[in-house]
Structure 1
Amino acid sequence: MTRPTVRLGPADIIRLGLLGPRTRPLRAALSALGISIGIATMIVVVGIPASGQQGLADQLSALGTNLLRAEAAIDQQSQKMPPVPESASAMVARIPPVQQVSEVANTHAQVRRSHAIPAAQSSGLTVLAAKNDLLPVIGAHVASGTYLNAANAAFPTVVLGAVAATRLGITAIAPGQPSLEVWIGSRTFTVVGVLAPSPLAPEVERSVLVGWDAARHWLGFDDHPSVLYVRVQESQIDPVRSVLANTMFPQNPGRIVISRPSEALAAKRLTETAFSGLFLGLAGVALLVGAVGVANTMIVSVLERKRDIGLRRALGATRRQIRGQFLAESVMLCLMGGLVGAVAGVVGTAGYAMSRNWPAVIPAASVAGGISAALVIGVLAGVHPAVRASRLSPIEALAAA
């Protein structure tokens, strides 16, 4: 008389799949570790660049992407700056789509913390003559003190860029405290302000800013600008860019280099994430190692549980049910590793994004893809051990136990 076959439902398969991890939790955890590391790495590698990209987009939205920078290039033969017309800013302001214009000029003066420091040991910072309306054009603001204005720009006062302030050791202006000074040329200048970082104008960060009139009076400045910052209607960036050099320096427009700082900032961020492909490769290696570990664990599990396999076969379990048991165990093992890895990846991405003041962006596709990859790996790693277990006959399994 043929014994009727007992059908196993999905819940029964899951319970059988959890049998191995429940009875040997340490081995299961170590086997799933490689899967967890691989999935976490995949999510982090996808999530961190996405968070950085969103942070950059938010930053550029706040700063504005409609800024053009027109700079006079030094003549390589004479090593001199071409004499850009003093009226360059006024001429550029007449271009209809132009909204704001400001300018700076290199005074070629040296700045030192005090006169006691030899001239040969200057700070290496640039001293720029700057207009009073510079900050709103370049999207910068004062971190401490005040900026150049009608009341102080004609006097020997300076404002320090963020990097220049750190290098000179003057990072804040304390109200009510004695005035801090730096030595420029042959006299002292009073520091009245310190700027916050200026992402769209990094050259300003590394500079000491002097009022236009003060630079002309005390530093021998010749009134010729070297850099113009131009805010333009977003839709008219390219047309203005095409005529800017001719308008700024009609005598020699070829000496004018025009750039868009927001593009440079975006390119810099791209270089920071250029190794994403490498890290994805490392994540793939971790997943491969995890798959080998799970397959090894399942093979050992088959060898250790021959007696159980023999008893189940003797009691009527079919080869298909034995295959299902061990395949389910492999899948559950990898799925648990995948879930832990997904949580770790999400937490790691969010933590890193918060440390950089970025919005945390975790693409749902990366999380779903990671868990799906864990399921696929579970199936692939469990096929051979499951087939091997199902081929054991009851007599052979009980005899070998």
Structure 2
Amino acid sequence: MDIRDLWAEALAGVLARPVRSALTTLGTVLGITTLVITLGVAATAGNQIVGRFDELTATAITVEVPAGPGGPLVGWDSPAEVRRLRGVTSVSALAQTEESSNLRVTANDLVDPTRVTGQTLAVVAGDPELPRAARGRMVEGRFFDAGHVRRGDRVVVLGDQAARMLGVTRLTGAPAVFIEDRAYTVIGVLGGLGREQVLSTAVIVPPTTGVGLGLRNVTRVLVNTSLGAADLIARQAPVALSPNHHDELQVISPPTPKRARDGVQDDVNGLFPILGLVSLVVGAVGIANVTLVTVMERVSEIGLRRSLGAARRHIAAQFLLESTLIGMTGGVIGAGAGLVSVVAVSAAQRWTPVLDARLALAAPVAGALVGLLAGLYPALRAARMEPADALR
């Protein structure tokens, strides 16, 4: 047979019964769709679940310090009290105000109309522990130490992006920057920040130097903890920082394990009902397809029953009941097979099986309902047959 004739015959056979062909195709489509959904949704949910557990490894705590009416709520020496808490790996205090967030900083005091020599940058005061607390590293030079703080030296450390914007590429020759027309010596460049990314575009000064820029009071404290200690330190840090005003401090901490556990449970509970519903649709299409084939094969029987006095509703009820019984039988067998599979997989993986008795009882009902809905079209088609046409 020529390939063109074969193609024409196959196409004619498919189009001869378009509804049956459509149902058969729909079953294949839903089967492939189920496979894609199962793999895609499972991967997505797995990634979401991993993300939930990644939250447990977060060890960064930020304490926001508001302005106190009677004076500073947290002093520059208060982080030392937090550092004594068990589980704290590093802590640092920062000072930043709205005014200091937009100060003009220039790399020299010359006015050159042909190039940009100044930038509007944030100026932040911090203690010597800031690089460690911000999880950064010195790209160039060094960070200021306790000696610079004690003497009130006019030195600054630039964030790596701030250094590029100001054109400070080398520290040889002790370059200076001008903040509000006052010169400060650049002694280092801070980069590779793991938190507080805003510092990459900031100018960092010692606390004593920041007094002249309006940075007198601590506005936030950065705390890093060991794994698993964040929840406890989040409760203890405000008391250590300001015993008399700890309730006025705002703590931003990682989510608790309970929140992560609840999130994982919600993700899993939302995943498997979707897969179950898709599987039910596939089963419904299969029942509808088989019932429709049955109707086509029993045309003479339908014609004989109609000629002997059976009404349309009798024929429709017969096929509806058959499809319902098929669905209910599948529900009973499926529930039993599913429970056995859960127990077998749990035993193989050494898990504790979690079985819901209500699901086993509801499965036959769900199967019967699916069979009833799937048999509607075939039953209506059987009921519409005329006795003479069926017998012919």
Q: Which has the higher contact order (CA 8 A, sep 6+)?
A: 1
TM-score by length of 2: 0.49
Kindly name which structure, 1 or 2, has the bigger radius of gyration based on alpha carbons.
2
